[in-house]
Homo-oligomer: A and B are copies of this chain.
Amino acid sequence: MNEPQRTRRPGGRSAKVAAAVHQAVTDLISERGYSGFTVGEIAARAGVADSSIYRRWGNLETLLADVTLNRLNAQSPMPDTGSLEGDLRTYAANVAREITGPDGLAVVRLAVALSGDGQEGSKAAEDIRAERMGQLQSMLDRARDRGEDAPDAYGVLDHILAPMYIRVLFGMVPLAPGYIDGLVDRLLLPQNGSGA
């Protein structure tokens, strides 16, 4: 069109394409689940060319990962309650609500499926994880800056996220509030020189 250069300008054509495509994917997911549609159908619904989607996202897996990450960020921003314990309890409860909600299993299964879908799928999954782990680490860094003895993001992954993910994947739901708080309690136990 009348774009002098093919650069992405905030609020420009590129952002409009992204918004239309995200909306189309979100609608298709809610209508048909996570694996019930093609790039062609997304393009048709968003009113863009297939090639625009392939140029920007490369493949369907990366696009799904991008939409999923955006959804997670919108639904569950990192808490900032002023204390590590408060942040972790709020964060764990938010994640539990996400992954036990209507699309929760689909989201967890998407992340897991992406990891095995070859190079591009793995890259998309890795981007989701890197983004979320970075946000989580920022929350924990704030606690350290306040002088609190905070675990790192991998500790949260291993002892809060992993148990909840596996229980959802294995159908061991719902996740009771007492169970979720117990995971946080255990992560916050002092590590009295166990040599780790």
Residues of chain A from 88 to 118 with CB closer than 8 A to chain B in the complex:
105, 109, 111-112, 115-116
| A37–B182 alpha-carbon span in the complex (Å) | 43
* Interface of A, helix, strand, loop or mixed by DSSP: helix
Chain A positions within 8 Å of B, measured between CB atoms, are 105, 109, 111-112, 115-116, 122, 125-126, 129, 157-159, 161-163, 165-167, 169-171, 178, 182-183, 185-186, 189, 191-192, 194-196
Q: List 11 A-B contacts (CB under 8 A).
A: A105-B116, A111-B170, A112-B112, A129-B170, A157-B166, A158-B159, A158-B163, A159-B163, A166-B166, A182-B196, A185-B196
13 additional contacts (CB under 8 A) given A122-B171, A159-B159, A186-B191? A105-B116, A109-B116, A112-B169, A115-B170, A125-B170, A158-B163, A159-B186, A162-B167, A163-B163, A165-B166, A178-B196, A185-B196, A189-B191
